[in-house]
A and B are shown apart, each in its own frame.
Chain A
């Protein structure tokens, strides 16, 4: 939680505008996984935990944390941070959390992208000379491996 509050205190950066508009995003949190940058809406995030707080993650009810990089085909990621989604029963394991930033627009995925990425992402953000996928949290909540499936008992 402290990490999230710390990011909120930092100055916000606004991206340049882009033409196609799918939706308006509020503040987003930028994170890295598997060497790539991703964004997640801050309103969907309960808190961010360090790896050292892993035991706290295990005490959460519900699904286990997932290795986000592995899920999107980047190979097993280095899990240093856990982005806990609201209401706090599920988290994405990521390499690092950069900061929070304000983005006014989300660019829809071009129509040629018709694979699983349509479920993974809400769209793309054009930010600071980079194109960053915006994670579709509702999909990851549904698709996350359940702890029961992993044979891990609730604590």
Chain B
């Protein structure tokens, strides 16, 4: 155990994951996703939030998330060496919790550590790794997302 701070927990697929609250800019209600042809796998389109264009990353391919969308988690991540902002649709409730972080072996895919909170253990999402895995050019084929 080496850190105590605040985290945001949210459901992805059948699991519940956490992000350090410093990574989460905000949680927003479902909003219109604007789609346009592009060639990036997992990017669904963009949201407009206070005049800023935010890409929406659909993680269903990696986590088997349901189709229902209750919230978008607007989070910061590093992608290709740059700080980026991404909107992640999640189904279910999000919670702001306090807990203790425990490091895990680096080879655990998509997991940056474990969060111990309220008698439960929740995996901490390695968002940079998730983004690097999910968001890749789709071999020149354009992706078309739903509106």
User: Which residues of A does B touch, CB under 8 Å?
Assistant: 16-20, 34, 36, 72-74, 107, 110-117, 120, 124, 126, 130-133
Let me know if B46 and A124 touch, CB within 8 A. yes
Complex CA distance for A137 and B135, rounded to whole angstroms: 26
Let me know if A17 and B51 touch, CB within 8 A. yes
User: What's the dominant secondary structure at chain B's contact region?
Assistant: strand
Q: How large is the interface on B (under 10, 10 to 19, 20 to 34, 35 or more residues)?
A: 20 to 34
A-B contact count (CB 8 A): 89
Let me know if A116 and B137 touch, CB within 8 A. yes
Residues of A within 8 A of B79 (CB): 111-112
A130 is contacted by which of B34, B55, B84, B144 (Cβ under 8 Å)? B34
Q: A112-B55, A112-B79, A124-B53 are in contact. Are A131 and B37 (CB under 8 A)?
A: no
Complex CA distance for A111 and B84, rounded to whole angstroms: 7
Indicate if B67 sits at the interface (CB-CB under 8 A).
Answer: no
Q: List 13 A-B contacts (CB under 8 A).
A: A17-B51, A36-B37, A73-B39, A73-B142, A115-B38, A115-B140, A116-B39, A116-B142, A117-B38, A120-B37, A124-B46, A131-B46, A133-B37
